Structure 1
Amino acid sequence: MSLYISSLNSGSNGNCYYIGNDKEAVLVDAGLSCRETEKRMARSGLSMQTVQAIFVSHEHSDHIRGIANLARKYQLPIYITAKTLQNSRLTIADHLVKSFIGHQTFQIGDLIVSTFPKFHDAVEPHSFMVSYNAINVGIFTDIGNVCENLINHFKQCQAAFLESNYDDELLERGTYPFFLKNRIRGGMGHLSNEQALNLFKVHRSPHLSHLLLSHLSKNNNNAVMTQQLFQEQATNVKVVIASREVETPVFKIVAESEILFTEQSRVQQL
């Protein structure tokens, strides 16, 4: 009774996150080509045949590049808001379009997918939490600010993909034009390392086992530094950098009750 998660890619060059149980799965965003998505899943021992739906966070190209081809090839329903679909200019068959609004939940096989609005410079941006058998996995990227929606969902997670996009000092000293720096850090762009770390320190669940730091900037962040920053506060949480070049390993996320049962069994054996 577990969930399996992997980041197939995370960054401004493409975003795609896999969450599934033993029978079915969903993708959140599909910013890689259809072929590249298939290739990375195959390398991880995952199959597109288990994917039952794609949930779209917003219309930026690094989140939707592969959606039309994946939907057509596998006849996958695409969960997307009406304005996001309009602004994305995606060509998706009508019968595959599943429109949603914020705070809706959907059942995909035995998976429950919850949606909530977020701050980002897109027309109707949303984040998601995928739940199964008392296990919650959050997909929290492309967020300009830490809002109550984010806090409330993050508190419930056993695992999360959490944006840690930029280091304040690296962004300030970097070569980006002033308007772009302000777009990134202005409350409708991305979360900084400091913002993400504060969310992690203050609001994480005692049951959080995996944190996949996501959407790191190529120019305004440093993966080694960021992982060390979080690892110092991690205690029993496994901290992983979601790469912008390759897929992460597939991680098995279990419910707290299963962890307790395993620990009790080990004690009895001793």
Structure 2
Amino acid sequence: MSLFVTSLNSGSNGNCYYVGSESEAILVDAGISCRETERRMLRLGLSMQNVKAVFISHEHSDHIRGLPVLVKKYKLPVYITGDTMREGRLTLAPDLVRSFCAEEKVQVGSFFIKPFRKFHDACDPHSFTIEHEELRIGVFTDIGTPCEHLVHEFRRCHAAFLETNYDEAMLENGRYPYFLKKRIRGGNGHLSNTQALELFTTHRPAFMSHLFLSHLSQDNNCPSLVQQLFDQHANGTKIIVASRYAETPLFKISA
């Protein structure tokens, strides 16, 4: 029993995460172009024919930019809330649109996807836990504050994409204007390295084999810095920094 997981891209320039078995897969978010999604999956030996659905976390452009073309080309069902679709100004074929509700699991093939609300400055933002048999993968990015739901789901994951958006000192001393710094660290923006590390060290389950550090800021974080920070506390979990420029390798997650 195993799953295959990769970040096709992670950052403010586009987000797309792949979780699949040998024959089925889903995507969470579609923030890079259809063509680039295809290229990156091809390099990893993955087939779009295995993708059965796309789940959308919220309406910001770095999570939906490639969605219309991808859905039209492959006739993929899109799981999205009505508020997110409206605020994202998306025009999708009605027969491909599927709604979901927080805390209610959705079945797609042999996968069960559980959405739950998160703190972020979007109209109806959600994180997701993807279950397949006894394996659970979390996609936890674009989060201002770690809530009880996030802690609960993180404790159940064999692998997770966890936001490590900014280093506090880099943000404070960087070029961003005050209002933007306030937005990022204000509780409905993004998780800092320190916040994410506290979640990891306090609530990491013993069976968590992989952690993907995700949605790093180009200006306010450094891949080597956050890699070193988490490696010191990995305790057997493999730490991977998800790039904003390329796909990660394909990782096999086993129970």
Q: Aligned letter for 1:107?
A: Q
The superposition leaves residues 76-127 of structure 1 with CA deviations (integer Å, 9 ceiling, x where unpaired) of: 0000011000001111000000011211111111111110000000000000
Q: Aligned letter for 1:68?
A: P
**2:49 matched to which residue of 1?**
49
> Which consecutive residues of structure 2, in runs of 5 or more, have no partner in the other structure?
none
Q: CA deviation at 1:235?
A: 1.4
Secondary structure (helix, strand or coil) at the match of 2:180 reads helix
Matches within 5 A, 1:221-260: 221-255=221-255
**2:172 matched to which residue of 1?**
172
The superposition leaves residues 31-65 of structure 1 with CA deviations (integer Å, 9 ceiling, x where unpaired) of: 00000000000001011000000000000000001
**1:138 matched to which residue of 2?**
138
The superposition leaves residues 172-218 of structure 1 with CA deviations (integer Å, 9 ceiling, x where unpaired) of: 00010000000000000000000000000000110000000000000
Identity percentage of aligned residues: 58
TM-score, scaled to structure 2: 0.99
**2:149 matched to which residue of 1?**
149
Structure 2: how far apart are the matches of 1:149 and 1:95? Answer: 31
Q: Compare the two structures and name the one with the higher helix fraction.
A: 1
Matches within 5 A, 1:144-223: 144-223=144-223
Q: Aligned letter for 2:44?
A: S
Contact 1:115–1:128 (CA under 8 A) maintained in structure 2: yes
The superposition leaves residues 128-174 of structure 1 with CA deviations (integer Å, 9 ceiling, x where unpaired) of: 01111211000000000010010000000000000000000000000
Matches within 5 A, 1:85-100: 85-100=85-100
Structure 2: how far apart are the matches of 1:163 and 1:26? Answer: 20
**2:69 matched to which residue of 1?**
69
Contact 1:2–1:133 (CA under 8 A) maintained in structure 2: no
Contact 2:129–2:153 (CA under 8 A) maintained in structure 1: yes
**1:22 and 2:10 equivalent?**
no
Q: Aligned letter for 1:43?
A: R
**1:8 and 2:8 equivalent?**
yes
Secondary structure (helix, strand or coil) at the match of 1:252 reads strand
Structure 2: how far apart are the matches of 1:38 and 1:105? Answer: 28
